[in-house]
Amino acid sequence: MPTVKRLDTRNLPAYSYKDAEKYLHIPHDTLRSWVRGRYYQTKQGKRFSEPVIELPDPDSSALSFTNLIEAHVLRAIRIVHNVELKQIRIALSYISDELDYAHPLTRQDFLSTDGKSIYVKHLGRMLDASKQGQIAISETLEVYLTRIEVDEQGIANKLFPFPHAQGHKNDPKVVMIDPNISFGRPVIVGTGIPIEVLADRYKAGESVDLLAEDYRCDRHLIQSALAFELEDDDNAA
């Protein structure tokens, strides 16, 4: 019998812009420019900045799990380390063309930056992808990359979003996004409890203690998950 290829849920359109903005703490205009590109004005006239994240369907307004990972890593490279988009595009193009990597931002060996260049581990060496393969030394994006879990192929398959916009290395991993659990909606780590359901019940008047008892889950986990889901809501726990 012919082998049936398993559908990779990581590449299905599943998250609205609003979802991605909330989970990743990325401003709407920034995220949209990464995904759709944007026009900007120069002395020579209007120019277009090409997108750096490729949607699973160009006509879709939804992002995939893969896109979430790309945006999470891109946030660290672009916002935290202030690497220019021009350098990022050069790096991604080099990695895709020369190393034959699709979606390089989701791979374990796309590891680090020193604030000026982007690096990728390849054959035991650190390549400066933004200089098209020059050997270089770099600092790691450890804080952001520790929020990602990869499969046996070294490709991201779980994301543990930061609880707040100011991500910190000591932030606990309370919320998990796994495209194969709860249709990819955020859940409490180790439980599979969708935090969206918790938030709906909480907003309907149920207490944290009642939810903790009902789901047989630690009260502090329930509270942290609600804080994540309701961060911009007046009903936050």
d(CA 184, CA 62): 13
Phi and psi, residue 133, nearest 5°: 105, 0
Phi and psi, residue 171, nearest 5°: -65, 130
Q: Give me the tens of pLDDT residue by residue for the chain, a chain 237 residues long.
A: 555 556 789 999 999 999 999 999 999 999 999 999 888 888 888 988 888 898 988 788 899 999 999 999 888 877 766 777 777 787 777 777 776 777 878 877 665 555 555 555 554 444 555 555 443 434 446 778 889 998 988 889 999 999 988 888 889 999 999 999 999 999 999 999 999 999 999 999 999 999 999 999 999 999 999 999 998 665 455
Domain ranges for the chain, please list them: 9-185
Kindly provide the residue ranges of all beta strands, DSSP E only, lying in 114-226, ordered along the sequence: 118-122, 125-128, 134-135, 148-150, 156-159, 175-176, 187-188
| pTM listed for this prediction | 0.82
